[in-house]
Structure 1
């Protein structure tokens, strides 16, 4: 086992090229008395940059460890931590700990062994010190290093404060720590740029001046995701300043989405297991994503667990409240666009149509008739859509939602509408105060069809509208 750690492993990044985040740094400072700070957010959300800015502003030594899979071995992790402390805390000699794991091995249970390792480190800390572990998600969830870190957190006390950066929620007793006011947590929502930060990022940092309308368009498209803002800024820097405003307002350029999609492919999607790729691609047809409906779509019963794991891993999946199970999820808009593109390129036309049909049936089964109609129309399953519209149409009209009904009817082939008296009736009612001559023709046709079907209620509605006309 090597006792010398690569210097790059214990060197913090320079906080350059990104905006200072005083509102977040101040929040971290206000919680320094707690044992633990966790910054848990998706890829390219500025975790390391924020931490580097905080360290630069801190008035105490900081030991930084850049984690990688090698640290799954708790001995390697112990050596990385002690080497970083040795380099950063000049007032204390940690050299005796650099060989400590090898001489402390023995018949002890791991829990007792890791307790001894933890107290050995903590007993050496005599001045206010920050220990920062960057990239905890690099360690497999079943890594024995997590047992060591759990023991370390359990025995952690001032003057040492631990700050952890990760894309995934670590297997610590996080809720218990938060209840005890021992942990402070920042997530995607906290790290996302607000409008003021978006404006400052483009103007002060990149020298790109944009109108409030253009900035709002960018902010809405990216959801404040820092990686997206950086990619857009690169795209804007490459074009004539006079063209930038139109470039943003008329369409988020395909070159930008191309860069984002390449990023998702390399950093997020390609490393996932095949079953999860398939799950994400097919479930992306929903927005929001209701686990119960996805279960029906994919013939499974664990969609809730899969989505919860994706949210914990920060795979651009955000939880929310709603749906039949009280829990819904949303994919980041750009990630959803990426998944939709994969859906359109990876599935045949027939497979896509079957998926849309099944999505319509899944929504119908849980009483989501409007969503079902949308999917049936996309699948060109007009008969199924017409049956639902027949039941729902009058309710929408009474609610004043004729524009929704009109939009659906416009997606039907005209010959199908002419054969269906209810669709003819609803079409007339959506243009009740316009196109009077067309309405009279449609209503007479609907009345004839209702008479052939001996449908009294339909006949009465047509007669009432004809009299009104």
Structure 2
């Protein structure tokens, strides 16, 4: 992240539970630049509300910044967010000290005017400013253009997943578990370095005397993992995406045509406009929905092991109930 400060944007994009916010918080503590922090929530989809919170976060860097804009936001006549952002950019340009703005949990933003405003902010960003965005999915920003211009630093699943040594240190130092190398290796492999999965597995083991047997049977159907993935991931998806996930969970590897064959039903096909298996797979990859690409051509994918366990368990339950 330090090496990316010369670029405009650092994007930290990965599934739930990969420690995105923790990473930025720890980096912030050691960063030699002032950091303005804005944690996003669903209420920030209102452009006026978003802009007022944005100004408030920037005022931690420059106390008098944006006072005129906050006054305009009280006007009964709604003003386009872009027209308010331009004077804010001019004020940012007057800041002499390099600083960082963090937009945490950007995935909750669904309002296109805010995406457009952030795109404008990035395009006209003064050199002394650097933007960090954490998100469970890639935001609707000009990511490809920024990447092509070397203006983007990306931190993703492969960067955030714990290695064997990191998993061993976490389980021993943080979770106070004494495990053999083989047991740690099994957990690291099963969770694929997913830190939330490691933590939930460790919590589950606290009441077990036979830890080796527990690790051998550990899966996405364990109640801690099940609850987390249900609440934080599966239930956040539309009915159409849930149907796709459940129906295709029977596949160890999948591509667009294979998913189409599995879903060979007019009912499922009509759930999503312009539905094709390939488009949905690309959507799942873009939204970091516990899907792992198996090539660089966006053809073959698989689900994260624990997520696949959950989906198959839910599919079996739904089949039994019907």
Structure 2 length normalisation: TM-score? 0.89
Post-superposition Cα deviations, 1:61-113, rounded to whole Å, max 9, x if no partner, equal 11111101211122211111111121x32x652262452542799798x4851
Map residues 104-119 of structure 1 onto 2, 5 A cutoff: 110=80, 113=83, 115-119=85-89
Contact 2:69-2:88 within 8 A present in 1 as well: no
- The Cα shift of 1:228 comes to 0.2
Distance in 2 between residues matched to 1:262 and 1:271, nearest whole Å: 13
Contact 1:74-1:148 within 8 A present in 2 as well: no
Change (3 A) 1:216 1:155: same
Aligned twin of 1:52: 25
Aligned twin of 2:52: 79
Distance in 2 between residues matched to 1:66 and 1:313, nearest whole Å: 19
Q: What value does the CA root-mean-square deviation take over the aligned residues?
A: 2.5
Query: Larger relative CO (CA 8 A, sep 6+): 1 or 2?
Result: 2
Change (3 A) 1:224 1:185: same
Aligned twin of 2:194: 225
Counterpart of 1:270 in 2: which secondary structure? helix
1:316 aligns with 2:285: no
Change (3 A) 1:136 1:159: same
Contact 2:163-2:193 within 8 A present in 1 as well: yes
Counterpart of 2:222 in 1: which secondary structure? helix
Aligned twin of 2:101: 131
- The Cα shift of 1:211 comes to 1.0
- The Cα shift of 1:319 comes to 2.4
From 170, 178, 181, the counterpart of 1:209? 178
Aligned length: 313
Change (3 A) 1:287 1:246: closer
Contact 2:197-2:225 within 8 A present in 1 as well: yes
Distance in 2 between residues matched to 1:147 and 1:117, nearest whole Å: 16
- The Cα shift of 1:245 comes to 3.7
- The Cα shift of 1:115 comes to 4.8
Contact 1:111-1:147 within 8 A present in 2 as well: no
Post-superposition Cα deviations, 1:320-341, rounded to whole Å, max 9, x if no partner, equal 328xx86111111111001101
Map residues 192-341 of structure 1 onto 2, 5 A cutoff: 192-240=161-209, 243-248=210-215, 250-252=216-218, 257-299=222-264, 300=269, 302-321=276-295, 327-341=299-313
Q: Which 5+ residue runs of structure 2 have no aligned equivalent?
A: 270-274
- The Cα shift of 1:253 comes to 7.2
From 295, 307, 318, the counterpart of 1:346? 318
Map residues 89-168 of structure 1 onto 2, 5 A cutoff: 89=61, 92-94=63-65, 96-97=67-68, 99-102=70-73, 110=80, 113=83, 115-140=85-110, 142-168=111-137
Contact 1:82-1:121 within 8 A present in 2 as well: no
Counterpart of 1:314 in 2: which secondary structure? coil
Q: Which 5+ residue runs of structure 1 have no aligned equivalent?
A: 1-27, 352-469
Post-superposition Cα deviations, 1:1-58, rounded to whole Å, max 9, x if no partner, equal xxxxxxxxxxxxxxxxxxxxxxxxxxx1111111110000000110000010000111
Distance in 1 between residues matched to 2:279 and 2:12, nearest whole Å: 23
Aligned twin of 1:64: 37
Aligned twin of 2:272: none
Counterpart of 1:53 in 2: which secondary structure? helix
Counterpart of 2:193 in 1: which secondary structure? coil
Change (3 A) 1:84 1:97: farther
Contact 1:194-1:224 within 8 A present in 2 as well: yes
